Structure 1
Amino acid sequence: MRMWKTLIWYGGLLLLLITTTTTQGGRRELEARQHWWDLAQNELAAALNVRQNWNVAKNVIMFLGDGMGITANTAARIYKGQKEGRNGEEGYLTWERFPNAALLKTYNVDKQVPDSAATATAYLCGVKANYYTLGLDPEVMLGDCAASRNSIYHTPSILTWAQEAGMDTGIVTTTRVTHATPAATYAHSAHRNWECDGNLGEKGVGCMDIADQLVSENPGKNIKVILGGGRQVFGAGLGSVDNDTCIRTDGRDLTKEWLEDKTNSGHTGRYVTNTGELHSVDLEDTDYLLGLFADSHTSFEVDRLVGPSGAPSLKEMALKALKFLQEKNNGFFLLVEGGRIDHALHDNLPRRALEETVVLDNTVAAVLKEVDLEDTMVVVTADHSHVMTINGYPDRGNDILGITGDISKIDGLPYTTLMFTNGPGYNYAIEGDKVVRQDPRDANVKHMDYRSQAAVPAYPLSETHGGEDVAIWAVGPMSHLFHRTHEQHYVAHAMAYSACIGPSADNCERPAHASFTKDRAPPKPTTTHPTILLHGLRKPKSGPAGAAKPKFPTLSSILQDLLDDNEQKIMTALGTESVRSYSIASDLQKLLGRRSAPSRRMV
């Protein structure tokens, strides 16, 4: 009886989707008082049960939603639920069920509202930087080529630290692999737009372009797996020239140079350009993998050509990269960027942005199924926000892409829930001495290419970033280091401490009160990994040979022992929209997929 009472209490951790009835108007019924009481008690039980994982991370995976600020995250949560037929507000994106979360201050050294290059330098290199600069400390100003060539100002990234520790590394992105976010892992450039030699101009004379750095310099040429877009900046475009993307003028094909470098160094390299080629890669016989699936950025997911001759999805790329790195078994750092969220928001296209965010959500969920959270730190965050807002007083369950239902008392017109403070969606006209805006009822506001109204006019793709804090969610070893409002550059230092690399290579001693997870002893120092100080720690007792390693370290040890083959069920439950408390043992039996009570007794 004691065991079942405990299981019933902790049963609230295992979230189930509650089927609700639909009213005549099509909206879902709203919850009653008991639901909210049970929800709070279940959440409290979960919070009281969280424990800290002090393991040393063998692997670190960072997911970056470019431009995925708090507003975009909230809107995507609602959009995800509504796509599945629910009200949406009560749901969760996968990372929102991680045990640890914090806020990050995103300003640049010289800007109140940041750009993606300087923010990437912060969270990947551990140093705040100037606007539009990559991998350089604040001594280097935008466009200062001469200063950027001085290695004393270079800021190595966590990817560099991982390689120095003998770990494998990878980057996956839906943007060009030379774009701001991925470039900060390997490049040092006084201007983020110096992606190829054609963009260097007079100010960049004497500096190496970003694509060249990826192929020719450390740590770029030592990255084991690189998947994304950007064939044109490599001099290997397969279509017509894109004048909005950097064009190589030196006649070099960097993909061929990349392959030649791998061959000359005694390794096997594989270069692929479509989904079919990516899936055909033999991981056991490939040392390095480069995949460029578009001349510029890869397509938005809703436009993506599906099939062998098309481009892989973010999820396909991430899973391939993950399996590639796991195959080597050296431990790894992997950066996965959902980069086109940002591009849609720059164009005031909310539906495209939300679709891309849901794609990132699906990717995170898929990767979580393939990793052991006992030895893998997973972080999800954004680099900056945008100026999209959720406004008005729409009813619960109202389409997040729809009209609020409110009418302006000034012009007598309604407005959409999602709007922007600036951008190309301004769409105003002058009638006499009045400024008149479009009536959103005359447009298909749910269309993929509908531009939400904006207050200040701007050219297409010119909506600005927002300067508010962004969120970060974390799970796995040392994820509790994210726990309040942090400066953005703290992220790199926390990830490095988790894996005992870079600035923490000789300073990651766990305190005496640190706890290690079941069957996971502190790693022993090796010749390829920096010495790990473990003074004052007791090695945990080893479990039985072949024992399964738990993937959900925030659950109680009691529930952890009962999970076994139900991990997928729990993972699915973590993202559902409603919870209930469990009052009888049969509820929990059904939840765990068991027909009878477990025979083991609680100890």
Structure 2
Amino acid sequence: MSVRVLSLLFATLSLPLSAIAQTAPSPLPATRDLTQDAGFKAQKAAIDAAAAQMPNTGRAKNVILFIGDGMGINSVTAGRIMAGQVRGQDGASYVLSFEALPYTAFSKTFSANNLVTDSANGISAITTGVKTINGAIGVNADVKSKSCDGVEAARVMTIAEQAKLSGRSAGAVTTSGITDATPVGTYGHTSTRNWRSDADLPPEAVAAGCTDLARQLVQAPAALRLDVAMGGDLEDFLPVTAGGVRKDGRDLTAEWKAQKNAAVLTGKAQLEALNTKTAGPVLGLFSKGDLPSPLDKPQDVPGLDEMTAKAIDLLSRNDKGYFLLVESASIDKWHHKNDAHRALHDVDELAKAVSIALAKTDPSDTLILITADHSHGLTLSGYAPRDGRIDGVSGQGDKAYPLLSYATGPGGEHPHTGGYTAEETEALGFTNPALFGMSSAAHGGEDVPVYARGPQAYLVRSTVDSTYLYQVMARALFGAETPKTKP
């Protein structure tokens, strides 16, 4: 010990007791008992529940894949706030049904040829485990866009087709047309997503024998064909003479009904009246094209939750199980138009459908997976009050601006003069501003969230490739062995 340290120690010991007492630390200040704080208690309960969660490593009888088309984390956050606010609750602390699921991850969505994917590769990567080029579905990246040469050689089976080969049933439900990219991810194999009816095929494609997607759905081999398909696109299944767009004169709805006990539904009332205990294969075509927004109060058009409920009832009759894809397509459709109000309402529509599935299934035997095929350029920025409307404004006067805006889209084609008002931004049909003007907003390329519950859901963690989600579903349905890849 050094002389200096000894000197200091001796000096301290030489101090009178009163002096030493004066140098003692003050008592700790009184603090609030956080165990009585509502927020603190809620998060304590949440972490206790998380700690008690035991992973289900077993096999799944059923898999339900939910796709929020274009639903990046920005849409989830803003959609959550809107969903809470329309219910008269605090939007920021509201919880969407799928946000309460125990396992989460982020998914990288790039395609084989683009940093930012479209919905075709976006869904194909998830349902086949293989990335392809933008615009292609159910094939690997060897295909060339707008050509059917090599499509058969590049064909990759979908998880829905593999489920069918295992003896299960399979279905797809969407608020888009049933021949749009995401539902096609269950049954279609094409280099070009826009070949939805024969009217979309260029002469050279017709000459080459290319098959449109509506025909692929109806004419698929019985061993692979979907048992339930619901959405829009009635016109793609009917000839011109019957109010459709088909040039080949074929009535694909009649061909569908040739199956035993098969039904073709065109309205909500028909869906409600359907006897799910006796019905055979069901094709629901509830609009000529995409289904309208529920905010526009369409007549005789079922909601996503209603279609989901019927689909589960129909498919669950199979004792071996089923695969079901459910898509809230209009999140993407309205983001393309910079209509954040309608887009975020459809996030809530997805959450309602998830609630139906959670209530109708057993977490011990059903894997439920919720994710997006890609994101959009929506941003939530500004310093509005906690109770301010998500579709409102931040700031005042000439400096007031919408909380919600976009990177690209029609909102940038006609710049706004002066400050915005809440009356403008909160009105249904308002076009949110965009930085760069385009007739249709571009997709976003950032990672998207994934939520899961059920067998093998514990494998949904960290940051993964979108093709990894196929592996989770395949492992849940078929085990660690590679499932059938050919009929």
TM-score class, shorter-chain normalisation, is: 0.7 to 0.9
Q: Does 1:382 align with 2:372?
A: yes
Q: Which residue of 2 aligns with 1:358?
A: 348
Paired with 1:239 and 1:397, the residues of 2 have a C-alpha distance of: 52
Q: Does 1:287 align with 2:280?
A: yes
Relative to its length, the structure with more helix (as a share) is: 2
What 5-or-longer segments of structure 1 have no aligned partner? Answer: 1-30, 242-246, 430-435, 507-603
Q: Which residue of 2 aligns with 1:60?
A: 63
Paired with 1:210 and 1:322, the residues of 2 have a C-alpha distance of: 24
How far off is 1:282 after superposition?
Answer: 2.0
How far off is 1:139 after superposition?
Answer: 0.6
How far off is 1:354 after superposition?
Answer: 1.2
Paired with 1:414 and 1:220, the residues of 2 have a C-alpha distance of: 59
Q: Which residue of 2 aligns with 1:136?
A: 139
What are the residue-to-residue correspondences of 1:316-327 with 2, within 5 Å?
316-327=306-317
Paired with 2:195 and 2:252, the residues of 1 have a C-alpha distance of: 15
Q: Is the 8 A contact 1:225 1:289 kept in 2?
A: yes
Paired with 2:133 and 2:371, the residues of 1 have a C-alpha distance of: 20
How far off is 1:86 after superposition?
Answer: 2.0
Letter in 2 for 1:166: G
Please state whether the residue corresponding to 2:407 is helix, strand or coil: strand
Report Cα offsets for 1:227-256 as digits up to 9, x if no partner.
111110111689977xxxxx3211111111
Paired with 1:291 and 1:147, the residues of 2 have a C-alpha distance of: 32
Paired with 1:166 and 1:240, the residues of 2 have a C-alpha distance of: 37
Please state whether the residue corresponding to 1:178 is helix, strand or coil: coil
Q: Does 1:441 align with 2:427?
A: no
Paired with 1:361 and 1:136, the residues of 2 have a C-alpha distance of: 30
Give the counterpart of 1:249 among 229, 247, 250.
247
Q: Which residue of 1 aligns with 2:7?
A: none
Please state whether the residue corresponding to 2:387 is helix, strand or coil: coil
What are the residue-to-residue correspondences of 1:195-344 with 2, within 5 Å?
195-205=196-206, 206-218=209-221, 222-235=225-238, 247-260=245-258, 262=259, 267-306=260-299, 310-344=300-334
Q: Which residue of 2 aligns with 1:541?
A: none
Paired with 2:483 and 2:248, the residues of 1 have a C-alpha distance of: 40
Give the counterpart of 2:335 among 342, 345, 348.
345
Give the counterpart of 2:400 among 390, 411, 414.
414
Letter in 1 for 2:176: T
Letter in 2 for 1:453: P
Paired with 2:340 and 2:262, the residues of 1 have a C-alpha distance of: 39
Report Cα offsets for 1:415-441 as digits up to 9, x if no partner.
111001111112545xxxxxx635312
TM-score, normalised relative to structure 2 = 0.88
Tell which structure's C-alpha radius of gyration is larger: 2
How far off is 1:289 after superposition?
Answer: 1.0
CA RMSD of aligned residues (A): 2.2
Please state whether the residue corresponding to 2:424 is helix, strand or coil: coil
Report Cα offsets for 1:236-287 as digits up to 9, x if no partner.
689977xxxxx32111111111112x1xxxx221111111111222223222
Q: Which residue of 2 aligns with 1:558?
A: none
Give the counterpart of 2:450 among 469, 472, 485.
472
Report Cα offsets for 1:3-56 as digits up to 9, x if no partner.
xxxxxxxxxxxxxxxxxxxxxxxxxxxx99934432332222122111101121
Q: Is the 8 A contact 1:86 1:397 kept in 2?
A: no
Paired with 1:231 and 1:142, the residues of 2 have a C-alpha distance of: 26
What 5-or-longer segments of structure 2 have no aligned partner? Answer: 1-33
TM-score, normalised relative to structure 1 = 0.71
How far off is 1:84 after superposition?
Answer: 1.5
Aligned pair count?
Answer: 449
Please state whether the residue corresponding to 2:40 is helix, strand or coil: helix
Report Cα offsets for 1:524-548 as digits up to 9, x if no partner.
xxxxxxxxxxxxxxxxxxxxxxxxx
How far off is 1:501 after superposition?
Answer: 6.3
Q: Which residue of 1 aligns with 2:362?
A: 372
Q: Is the 8 A contact 2:59 2:479 kept in 1?
A: no
Q: Which residue of 1 aligns with 2:121?
A: 118
